[in-house]
A and B are shown apart, each in its own frame.
Chain A
């Protein structure tokens, strides 16, 4: 028979139904530990009391009115989505500033860095793309603007899908 009093952990285990047989035996003869068990029982009872947690009777209706016009997200959110939209937004800002002449009409000279890449790849990408556009009779600006518009649309769509809706007032 266990003579030492039960500690807090042993008492909690007993009340959780995971106590040892020794603890149960001890409680049979130890009034002091039984009193401590009763103290803990008061705490357990209070923890299981949810009478204060009442939502209004029309809570479900309020939720339904908030989701009323919405549809479930059509596809899982992709982790790279926000990154793409940030690039799109930056490209849009750049495009507007470029259009209004805030930037010089020619792009910065990247030839120094590009020389390394060209040598590394053994391929002149810029020249290749320029020839491609030329042969297809395409203005590169049209492509750039299309990408910007698509990215902008994506950003607006993202913000719309993750917007906060106004809570519906409830009557209790």
Chain B
């Protein structure tokens, strides 16, 4: 686990001293990270924004409990992940089992995109992959988001998700592989490059 930047220590001291402007700065610095995690985990648009707010309220209330040997952003990400997870459980949204997904993959129930040699634009492909990311198990898409969007290391993701490093690597590897396979289930290789 790496040390947080020294300026985050000073920022925390100011917030603990009652400086609300300092907390606002913390929100602005970390809202992108929190939105990545919550937006990936939670489908409902209104719930997403409420939960992002809830993350920062929780951060504010519990800031004194933050142990400074960890990075502040990792601690905030862990709070966001836990809030997202308990929301999913509260709403009885299934944390899709891998076996189900493996089955879906081999089902071949993805409609193949029309006519070969169609001009598949990058934007369309990106949108399609985004839809497929939504369908991934929550653990996979969270690990992928933390790695790709927030540039976190495996160690940091381990700290956030509280699973062994091998599991994090497996989530990331299998998530990418699923996405690639689903992309190819919709478009042939020729369609993608013509």
Q: How far is the CA of A35 from the CA of B180 in the complex (A)?
A: 12
A70 and B60 within 8 A (CB): yes
Contact between A52 and B130, CB atoms less than 8 A apart: yes
Q: How many residues of B contact A (CB 8 A)?
A: 47
Interface pick from A106-114, A120-128, A130-138, A161-169: A161-169
A38 to B131, CA, bound (A): 20
Mark contacts of B19-39 with chain A using CB atoms, 8 A cut-off: 1 yes-contact digit, 0 otherwise. 010011001100110011001
* Chain B residues, Cβ within 8 Å of A35: 189, 193
Closest to B28 in A: A60
A50: CB under 8 A from chain B?
yes
Total number of residue pairs linking A and B with CB closer than 8 Å: 127
Contact A60 B133 (CB under 8 A): no
A60 CB contacts on chain B under 8 angstroms: 24, 27-28, 31
Additional A-B contacts beyond A42-B125, A59-B52 (17; CB < 8 A) = A8-B180, A40-B176, A40-B180, A42-B129, A45-B126, A47-B145, A47-B179, A53-B35, A53-B36, A55-B35, A55-B49, A60-B27, A67-B57, A70-B60, A72-B15, A76-B65, A77-B62
Q: Which residues of chain B have a CB within 8 Å of any CB of chain A?
A: 15-16, 18, 20, 23-24, 27-28, 31-32, 35-36, 39-40, 49-50, 52-54, 56-57, 60-65, 122, 125-126, 129-130, 133, 144-145, 148-149, 173, 176-177, 179-180, 183-184, 189, 192-193
